[in-house]
Amino acid sequence: MAVIPMPSITSAAEAMHRHVLLIKSGMATSDDNIYSLIGILTFIALHPSGDLSYARSIFDSLHFPNSYTANTMIRAYAKNPNTSSSADAALNFFINLQKHHPSPPPPDHFTFTFLLHACGRLRDGQIGRQIHGLGLKSGACENHRYVENSLIHMYGKCGLLEDGMKAFDRMSDRRDVVSWTSAIDGAAEGGRALEALQLFDTMTTEEGIQPNEITLISAICACSEVGSLSLGKTLHDIARANGFDLSPNIKTSLVDMYSKCGCLITAKEIFESITTKDVFAWTAMISAYAAHGFCGEAVKLFDEASSEVDADDRMYMAVLSACRNAGWVKECYRYLNSMKKKRSLRGGPKAEHYGCMVDLLSQIGRLDEAEIFIKGISPNPLQNINESDGGCYVEVNGQVYEFDNRSMQQQSTAAWYCWEEVKERLRVEQGYSCDFVEEEGEIVQSEKLAVGYGVMNAVAGERVMVVMKNKVGGCLCKKCHEVMKLVSKVYGREIIVRDPVRFHFFNYGLCSCQDFW
């Protein structure tokens, strides 16, 4: 039987047309044309203009699918950005193929690479561990760099950093830049930003591995979390040295980093240098304005961005944060209603979006309205909000220190004595006194320890910036807010506190939020 020649395919429409020709010729299922059919399936499954449903119909027509065609479908489902259910579809496709097909192709290392990617997208560590076990049982995961890198990435996305680091440690002689990047990204996403930065330092200084663009983005994001301006500038220099500083993705991460380190002007300059701004760039700058208290600029920029890109849930979160920080109830309702009507936002507003409205109503004393608002949300997404127990970071002379909300005897002795010295000076000069006795076993807010350590150890004249982690209650408490005002007045230093909602710039006993937060 003659083979129909198939030159390279350039569009999904062309691929479908060629498939029709094969069907009409009666040769669609011929072994002689199997490679032509595989080429059509591959293009339609993986090309951005393709059609997964059509690709699936071609796959289902194959009497004896091989590992390549099965992997093509799993890869297409696992990495399809157009639907949130595609990662589920990848796993279901694999399970059904292995269970119900009369001749299922055996999974190989590519199969497990794509399946682990799907588990990472789902943030489902339980299924990820099962896939890992199946891979070990089949032997496909053993000493294979691609699979091991996928394991590190998957466990990091699922918040199982210890499991990811075990996989990372086992491949000590096979690590490449992807391995290191997966570990750095996993630590950063898992709330262990300092570990991420330590990994980056080890990779570049001890192992001599040059970072790629994705590695730098992960490191810059970790730097943003701890608020280290000095390290952020170093990473910016590394980006320049490696020619990455012109990348829109690097620039967007730098906008986020500089804004979160308190340098709004620098963040704005980098934002304006991005020639083609995507939704992530717009969101980074809107968030920056909102956090720094320039809420009018944030709303104006959101409206401008909406004419350029399709606003997603993160971009809406940024403008809702601006409305909350400014106390604008009407505008907050307007943007929430806009989200509900937007077809591209599947499921409408999420817990964090509703949370902005509840925060705002509570903040301005409209508690009855806040209660009615919560009751009107069905099902109530606010009950699913998860926050950590708190803690904070402070950078002192280029070194980042981490403090937790723990009892005194567990805290750094040096930090405790610094806070005691600061507290005594506040008492003598400003009449400050605690509302409770800070005795052994009592909780000392980490923000106080951090600012005390900062003002007693930082170079004279240097600002002290404290970065709070997400915690129950969210914002800087009223007592700590008053303490920061007194410290800035008595020590003549600029004290910056970045809580999970906004920045507070304390100077000469006053705060930039004007005591509204």
Q: What is the pLDDT of residues 425-441, one digit of tens each?
A: 999 998 877 644 454 44
pLDDT at 154: 94
**pLDDT tops 50 at residue 479:** yes
Share of the chain above pLDDT 90, in %: 65
Give residue-wise pLDDT tens across range 320-355: 999 999 999 999 999 999 999 988 887 789 888 999
- Residue 41 covered by a domain: no
* Alpha carbons 339 and 285: distance in angstroms, whole number: 20
What is the DSSP annotation of 50-66?
Answer: --HHHHHHHHHH-SS--
In a domain, 490, yes or no: yes
Kindly indicate the confidence band of residue 384, based on its pLDDT and cuts at 50, 70 and 90: low
Does residue 48 have a pLDDT over 80? yes
The pLDDT, as a whole number, for residue 407 is: 46
Tens-place pLDDT, residues 139-176: 877 778 899 999 999 999 998 999 999 999 998 888 99
pLDDT at 440: 43
Q: Is residue 442 part of a domain?
A: yes
Query: Quick one: average pLDDT of 368-377?
Result: 89
- Domain annotation covers residue 435: yes
Q: What is the DSSP letter of 402?
A: E
Q: Decide if 420 is inside a domain.
A: yes
Q: Is 151 exposed, middle or buried (0-12, 13-18, 19+ CB in 10 A)?
A: buried
Is the per-residue pLDDT at 103 higher than 90? no
* pLDDT 10s digits, 4-27: 444 578 888 888 888 888 887 766
Dist CA 253 CA 300 (whole Å): 22
Listed range (21-30, 272-281, 508-517) with the worst mean pLDDT: 21-30
> Would you say residue 163 lies in a domain?
no
Which residues on adjacent β-strands are paired with residue 402? 393
Q: How many domains does the chain have?
A: 1
Sign of CA dihedral 194, 211, 228, 158: negative
How far apart CA 162 and CA 154 sit, in angstroms, is 12
**Rounded Cα–Cα distance for residues 50 and 47 (Å):** 5
- To 5 degrees, how large is the angle CA 340–CA 343–CA 349? 35
Pairing of strands 399-403, 495-498: unpaired
Residue 476 has what DSSP assignment? P
Lowest mean pLDDT among 67-81, 397-411, 498-512: 397-411
| Length of the chain counted residue by residue | 517
Alpha carbons 260 and 497: distance in angstroms, whole number: 11
Prediction pTM value:
0.86
In this prediction, residues 219-228 reach a mean pLDDT of 96
Question: Do residues 466 and 452 touch, judged by C-beta distance below 8 A?
Answer: no
CA distances (Å), origin 181, targets 166, 454, 482 = 15, 31, 41
User: What CA–CA distance (Å, rounded) separates 457 from 474?
Assistant: 28
Outline where 376-444 has alpha helix (H): 413-430
* The predicted structure's pLDDT at residue 439: 43
- Average pLDDT over all residues of the chain: 88
pLDDT at residue 379 is higher than 70: no
* 63: amino acid identity, one letter: H
| 491-499 average pLDDT score | 95
The domain of 466 spans: 392-511
The least confident of 40-49, 314-323, 327-336 is: 40-49
Tell me: pLDDT of 473 over 70: no
Write the DSSP symbol of residue 203. Answer: I
Predicted confidence (pLDDT) at residue 366 exceeds the cutoff of 70: yes
Can you point out the beta strands (E) in 267-420?
Answer: 392-396, 399-403
* Sequence-distant (≥ 6) Cβ neighbours of residue 139 within 8 angstroms: none
Residue 464 belongs to some domain of the structure: yes
pLDDT at residue 442 is higher than 70:
no
In this predicted structure, the answer to whether residue 319 has a pLDDT above a threshold of 90 is yes
Task: Give residue 14's pLDDT.
Answer: 87
Q: State the pLDDT at residue 169.
A: 92
Residue 248 within any structural domain of the chain? no
